[in-house]
Amino acid sequence: MDNRIIEASCHLFSLDEVSEHCDETSCWLVIEDKVYDVTKFLSKHPGGNDVILENAGTDATIAFGDKGHSKYGIKLLEVYLIGELIEKDRRFKTSNKKEP
Ligand code: HEM
């Protein structure tokens, strides 16, 4: 298990906080209640930065899932994981993490 991921998952954010990171200077996405900072990935995205920026600061679960990303694409998300949503903003309710 990757310690970096465990540590990153301890950070809890609200959707409001995520929504402040909505452009190329700071671009966060929510996918299945996890929060990703993909700012550094924008210029590397094979699908271009526009499609990510259109979803910047929002829950991009559907947008990401709709494009049929490969296993590699899904795995790559882990690199950009910074935390997860607070309980009240979760849609998937899969986390056991307690809020501080
Ligand atoms: C809402 C967000 C996103 C949208 C709408 C989106 C859309 C797309 C589209 C349309 C392609 C196809 C490009 C082509 O074939 O010309 C693509 C490819 C790809 N995307 Fe995304 N993407 C999103 C976020 C991400 C994120 C966050 C990652 C990883 C950190 C990622 C990783 C990849 C990879 C690796 C490919 C190449 C094909 C594959 O391996 O699946 N994408 N994306």
For 26-52, the pLDDT digits (tens) are 999 999 999 999 999 999 999 999 999
Provide the pLDDT for residue 92.
87
- What mean pLDDT comes out for the span 65-80? 96
Pocket of ligand 1 contains residue 91 by CB under 6 Å: no
Which tokens in the block code for residue 67? 């494009």
In 3-state terms, what secondary structure has residue 77? helix
Could you give all domains of the chain from N- to C-terminal order, each with its CATH number?
Answer: 3-86 (3.10.120.10)
CA distance 71 to 39: 21
**pLDDT of 6 over the 60 cut:** no
Q: How far is CA 42 from the centre of its chain?
A: 13
- pLDDT at position 2 is 53
User: Ligand 1 center to residue 99 CA distance, Å?
Assistant: 31
What's the gap in Å between 47 CA and the centre of ligand 1?
Answer: 5
**Is residue 77 in contact with ligand 1, taking CB distance under 6 Å?**
yes
Percentage of residues of the chain with pLDDT beyond 90: 81
Answer yes or no: is pLDDT of 70 > 80.
yes
13 CA distance to ligand 1 centroid (A)?
24
Q: Is the pTM of this model over 0.80?
A: yes
Closest CA to 27 of 1, 48, 2, 58: 58
